[in-house]
């Protein structure tokens, strides 16, 4: 196969799903995973509370073994939450759950994309932290021809397993790209990345659009409207989750710049506050 799909001439690129991530990962320095409803939103909520989040692509018995091997709690399905297993792929449930220092978060979409990154840096972006992620990327020189990046919209899946592109992830990706470009330090955007950025900037109420989209309707009708409400907290968070040693961790903790926790690169073992 030729390299026509790599968008190689551009510092900022855009693609959909795990297959897109697999194809671009080896050719970029950084992947930004965007899965607004709900993997990266859940990651943002957990990481800003001081939890290290281990992504895992499968929700089966192997996930339990993986959690045990990492001395971590295992997130269960939304409907499987109990007092003994309060963590799930639900931002609202994670806010209510007791603090845990390590959490395995299975997800066939966002986690699969993170796993496809290979040697690239991986960042979890969503509407809640889009501006913070954009600033962090610029600060570290990503998005230039020398350190290109790919923003990957996770999308959802149809019943047959095929990709269903989701408005929520398109707008989330556009928000990250717009924030990065606003810093003025990026290389050229690929046509794909430019179109996604334009979609976000041309949407006067991105939060309202996401709250009313098909994916949000699915969650709300299933009893998880609170998850949608958290997902559309645009720029409510300044936490930038970066995949480090197999787990998403607050970049400020890794880099020693966080002021409300350890500054030696370690992670809190008690919740903030």
Short-list 167, 144, 147, CA closest to 156 = 167
Q: What is the pLDDT of residue 1?
A: 55
Task: State residue 204's pLDDT score.
Answer: 95
Sheet holding 30-34, edge to edge: 12-16, 149-153, 30-34, 121-125, 241-244, 247-250, 52-56, 102-106, 73-74
pTM value is 0.91
| Residue recorded with tokens 């500054």 | 263
For residues 9 and 75, give the distance between their C-alpha atoms in angstroms, rounded to a whole number. 40
Q: Which pLDDT does position 53 carry in this prediction?
A: 97
Lowest mean pLDDT among 107-121, 218-232, 240-254: 107-121
Residues 74, 11: Cα–Cα separation, whole Å: 37
CB 241 within 8 A of CB 250: yes
CB-count burial class (<10 Å; 0-12, 13-18, 19+) for 246: middle
Cα 126 vs. chain centroid, distance in angstroms? 6
72-100 pLDDT tens trace: 999 999 999 999 999 999 999 999 999 99
**DSSP structure class, residue 99:** P
Output the CA–CA distances (angstroms, integers) from residue 164 to 43, 170, 234, 235, 256, in the order listed. Answer: 22, 11, 23, 26, 39
Read off the pLDDT of residues 217-235 as tens digits, 9 standing for 90 and up. 999 999 999 999 999 999 9
**Rounded mean pLDDT of the chain?**
91
Q: How confident is the model at residue 258 (pLDDT cuts 50, 70, 90)?
A: low
User: Hey, is 2 helix, strand or coil?
Assistant: coil
Mean of pLDDT values over 33-62: 95
Q: Helix and strand tally (H, E) in the chain?
A: 12, 11
Map out the domains of the chain with their CATH numbers. Answer: 10-254 (3.90.1560.10)
Q: Report the share of the chain in percent with pLDDT over 90.
A: 84
Alpha helices in the chain (DSSP H): 17-25, 39-48, 61-69, 91-96, 110-115, 130-139, 167-182, 191-201, 206-211, 214-221, 225-231, 251-254
> Which DSSP symbol is given to 82?
B
d(CA 169, CA 36) in angstroms, rounded, equals 6
* DSSP single-letter state for residue 16: E
DSSP state of 76: B
- Name residues whose C-beta falls within 8 Å of residue 71's C-beta, 6 or more positions apart in sequence: 102
- CA separation for the pair 102, 269 (Å, rounded): 9
Q: What is the DSSP letter of 81?
A: -
Pick from 17, 115, 15: which is nearest to 66 by CA? 115
């Amino acid at each position: 196969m030729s390299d026509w799909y790599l968008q190689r001439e551009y510092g900022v690129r855009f693609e959909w799903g795990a297959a897109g991530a697999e194809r671009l990962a080896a050719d970029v320095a950084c992947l930004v995973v965007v899965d607004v409803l709900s993997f990266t939103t859940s990651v943002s909520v957990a990481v800003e509370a001081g939890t290290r989040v281990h992504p895992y692509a499968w929700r089966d018995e192997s996930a339990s073994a993986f959690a045990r091997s990492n001395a971590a709690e295992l997130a269960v399905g939304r409907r499987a939450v109990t007092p003994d297993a309060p963590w799930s792929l639900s931002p609202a449930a994670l806010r209510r759950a007791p603090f845990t220092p390590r959490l395995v978060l299975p997800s066939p979409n966002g986690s699969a994309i993170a796993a496809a990154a290979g040697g690239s840096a991986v960042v979890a972006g969503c509407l809640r932290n889009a501006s913070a992620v954009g600033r962090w990327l610029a600060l570290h020189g990503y998005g230039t021809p020398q350190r290109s990046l790919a923003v990957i919209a996770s999308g959802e899946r149809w019943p047959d397993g095929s990709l269903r592109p989701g408005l929520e992830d398109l707008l989330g990706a556009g928000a990250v790209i717009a924030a990065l470009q606003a810093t003025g330090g990026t290389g050229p955007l690929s046509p794909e990345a430019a179109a996604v950025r334009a979609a976000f900037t041309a949407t006067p109420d991105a939060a309202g659009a996401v709250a009313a989209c098909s994916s949000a309707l699915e969650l709300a009708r299933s009893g998880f409207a609170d998850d949608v409400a958290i997902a559309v907290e645009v720029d409510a968070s300044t936490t930038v989750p970066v995949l480090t040693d197999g787990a998403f961790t607050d970049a400020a903790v890794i880099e020693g710049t966080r002021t409300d926790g350890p500054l030696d690169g370690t992670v809190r073992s008690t919740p903030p506050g």
